[in-house]
Structure 1
Amino acid sequence: MKSLSTTLIGIALTLTVVSPFTAIADDDAENTPAVNASQQAIDIAHKYPIVDGHIDVPYRLQRHWEDVTQATEKGDFDYPRARLGGLDAPFMSIYIPADRENNGAKALADVLIDQVQAIVFRAPDKFALANTADDIRSNFSAGKISLPMGMENGAAIAGDLKNLEHFYRRGIRYITLAHAKANHISDSSYDSSKIWNGLSPFGKTLVQEMNRLGIMIDISHVSDDAFYDALDVSQVPVIASHSSMRHFTPGLERNMDDKMLTALAKNGGVLMINFGSFFLTEEAMQWGKHYKEAKATFEKLQGNRLTPQISESFNRAYRKRFPYPYASVKDVVANIDRARKIAGIDHIGLGSDFDGVGDTLPEGLKDVSTYPVLIDALLERGYQESDIAKILGGNVLRVMEQVEAFAAQYSKSSAEE
């Protein structure tokens, strides 16, 4: 399914927003969609820093390059749409596929970091790197979009703590310990093989070193046992950069259950809600499972006759016969409501997974221009502006500051010994 910007291409910007940003250039405005949200929601989106825990721009550009400093035809993110939606600090995901374990993971991570730096190099008036919470706030005040970075899958560490320091110096400020398969650090929620029954011995050491350096621990994707291991070892709050509530997707270990969220709140951490329909509703989750099973059966029957074109034909035919059950903005709010009930307002954030979940985004939340739509839904649900500000970014900025403060104190104590 095409992104919101593509379907509305050619429609001029019709809403004027009050924000620290300068006006969108005419060439960008021509390809920028309008936001279907109230002026109150738009004002809130531009009044407070919006920090999104997970956006897969670097890997998207690695597969199909576009200049996201301008309006783009593909993808969920570009500068005009981010500006329109009030997005101020999208964590750029340095995504390492699970099959890169022991297969060039570090080199790929460096290339993807280069992609992020190149965005800033091409448009320093629009974007800026950000390594701290203060950087994000300063860039916000200066009217620039921050590009902090998080590594999705610690495979690039390759069992060497020197690599951890290398990536810290390059700007990595969180690491998702594993991805779709168990690695040398942690078991994965998606992997039936639990080789470590949680974190590996090296993984526990890695968490300690991440605390020391000031890198947030991200427990999205890890197994339940690994989650609890991470909380036991970490001396600072952790985050789930792009996960939702298992209450709405029974049996999906990738999401967090109520007990885990209670533990996360006690730790001081933040659950950043994933927008992918698969993570929001049981109906979409089940559709995804049935689709994968049908596709695997189809491809097995094709044998060596299988081509990308045949595979794509299957995808189209399956979706036509079994339409995808997109979630709604109300489903995102339902996940936020559940998290507030279990953990409290101080432990919720946003981790959209834009550019990472393909054609599974909810109706009304198809790209980064649409944060005001979610804000409107929260207002209608009775959320106060101060609470919305915490969800938009205040909570995760607080965790960043705590992680930074611990690292600074550790460094000071070590220097005094």
Structure 2
Amino acid sequence: MAAELKYMSGFDNEFATEDPRCPGALPEGQNNPQKCAYGLYAEQLSGSAFTAMRHENKRTWLYRIRPSVIHKPFKKIDNGLLTHDWDTVEPNPNQLRWNPFDFPKKKQDFVEGLATICGAGDPKARSGIAIYIYTCNKPMENKCLYNSDGDFLIVPQEGTLFITTEMGKMNVAPNEICVIQRGIRFSIDVKGNSRGYVLEVFSDHFVLPSLGPIGANGLANPRDFLSPVAWYEDREVREYTVISKYHGHLFSATQGHSPFDVAAWHGNYAPYKYDLSKFMVINCVAFDHADPSIFTVLTCPSLKPGVATADFVIFPPRWSVQENTFRPPYYHRNCMSEFMGLIYGNYEAKEDGFKPGGGSLHSMMTPHGPDYDCFEKASNAELGPQKIAEGTMAFMFESSFSMAVTEWANNTKVDSNYFQCWQPLKKHFNPKDSAKDDKEKKK
């Protein structure tokens, strides 16, 4: 019988939790007693160097039925559509858009359904990112995955993910996200067709962005991030498969028991989920259009202050009230790479063509912005208070890396007519008519 699903709240907290079936499983006053309660084994999972500064140090102590070292040797298995080979495809600076990715026609689980869209860098050097789409329709039965290369930020678009981790269980539905950090073993169950997006960072972990002049409150509040409580299963099986993602390849090993046998744990290195509807939007209230950084939920910093390896940014429902302002996103060229996805609804800058379950990529310095219809509509609209993005949740993976698109992504669900959405933009230039004159006429 499945355990009741429970969570602990607070981003980056030091948690201590034990399965109620094993009261006292957590040792008091030390991490590694000579003999653990209930005959458990103590095992530490480190997410940072031992000598990392205290506020950056990530580790969790697990008290488990068997240590995770009990498995047979790893052997390389088929990678499917997962790849970090960025050099076999010719570079493409064009604006790219993908129609919704198809659900699988045959049975496949989360690992089998991972397909790399784009990325950059090298997990061996702990530098870079990768972006995936996943499509699946069956559970990872007697199978788990752990990622030696980086952290996964998972964004479901269709179908709830029922995730079992070494630290406990999480249900993650569309309009929620979860992060499963490097090394944590997990298995995903689904009910029917499921689809979503994954951002992987090779270098460091996701943190909340600094608030700066915003002050103490705003954006994503730490208490709204939820981590699972301890839950274990003492289950022996003939063959349980453990998959390791290592150097961009998949390897599998077998063992005779479930890896989810942790009766208690304490630490600050644990998976977590977040409900995007809880995001406190900061927005313009006078004029102009603020940079999308004000919508950052999580960031993975680089070594250069203020520059992100990757940001996770959302565009939630909000009020638009700016005066004398072109309110949609402005036309721009950027020193960052921008991959956008749509969970549901219609993105306000491109209401046609950009669909839930699809995506777009605007590479470094490639120009982009509102399509023709959006520009004409917004340029001539009455500028009263307006609720925008109602019934919509779009997001962006933004990175300082210049990303390469995989061969599969270049030949799958690509909208070859994407460039057409800007072609009708007209020349409105008239040297005899200024914006100032137009204001005078309106008076």
Give TM-score scaled by structure 1 length.
Answer: 0.27
Q: Which has the higher strand share?
A: 2
Q: Which has the higher helix share?
A: 1
Give TM-score scaled by structure 2 length.
Answer: 0.26
| Structure index of larger Rg | 2
